[in-house]
Amino acid sequence: MKTKDRILLTSLKLFNEQGERNVSTNHIAAYLNISPGNLYYHFRNKNEIVYQLFLQYQAEVQSFMTLPQDGDITYEDKVHYLESILNSMWDYRFLHRDLQHLLQDDATLRDAYRAFSSRTVADGRNILLSMADSGVLLASREQIDALILNIWILVVSWSSFLQSISIQHNEAGTLRKALLKRAIYQIIALEEPFLCDDIKPLLPELKKKYLAGASTDPLTLFPTVLDEVENR
């Protein structure tokens, strides 16, 4: 593998694990056993690394937003696409963790990110509108507008939310998967009131699948909730 790609891979790994703020170009070079000078031969600066990673992330997410144009997809297909998007969000979670600083630091990334998010929200909105056209979603345009924004905020905030309540030491990856599924559950809950009667019979099973045995009570997501309740 080329050194340039190894730098990207390592940066992504270290940024996700420790936060971009805590990972210097020295750290990245040291992890790879290359010199800092070599790193700067391949990338103008740290922002350039972040920008390249953003482009990878953007391409992944957009690949899941462009649905096959032929036959309509089922609701279950749609939920599946959502799962892929949340996976990408997790794989590049450092971006949303330090998003504001990264955007403030780099005008190019700022413009690219704004274009990306407005495009993705627009695509998501169109999907909901076409569901409304075909009678799957019983919602007014105003309701769809509010719904897609709520979904977007949930999706981009989910990984940061999980990490803020310190569910992060998940080497095995099973906890990670369960908690990503929980985001899908939350989105199904957002859409549920608007789904037509044809879809509703599917929901109990879908919700069960994405709840993955967890309690619906959000308090069970907070690790120290027991101590907390005792102290009140």
Give the burial string for 108-143 (b: 16+ CB within 10 Å, else e).
Answer: ebeebbeebeeebbebbbebbbebbeeebbebeeee
Tokens representing residue 153 in the block: 């905020």
Cα–Cα distance, 98 to 20 (Å, whole number): 7
Partner from a copy of itself, DNA, none contacting 225, C-beta within 5 to 8 A by type: a copy of itself
β-partners of residue 136 are none
The listed partner (DNA, a copy of itself, none) that binds 33, CB under 5 to 8 Å by sort, is DNA
Residue 126: which of a copy of itself, DNA, none does it interact with, CB under 5 to 8 A by kind? none
- How far is Cα 49 from Cα 61, in angstroms, rounded to an integer? 19
66 binding a copy of itself? (CB under 8 A): no
41/115 with CB nearer a copy of itself: 115
Q: Applying CB under 8 A, does 97 fall inside the site for a copy of itself?
A: yes
Query: Which amino acid belongs to residue 72?
Result: D
Range in contact with a copy of itself (rule: CB under 8 A) among 55-63, 80-88, 94-102, 173-181: 94-102
Region 18-57 residues binding DNA, contact defined as CB under 7 A: 24-27, 33-38, 40-42, 44-47
Name which of a copy of itself, DNA, none residue 230 binds, using a CB cut-off of 5 to 8 Å depending on partner kind: none
Q: Is residue 17 near DNA by the rule CB under 7 A?
A: no
**Residues for the chain: how many in total?**
232
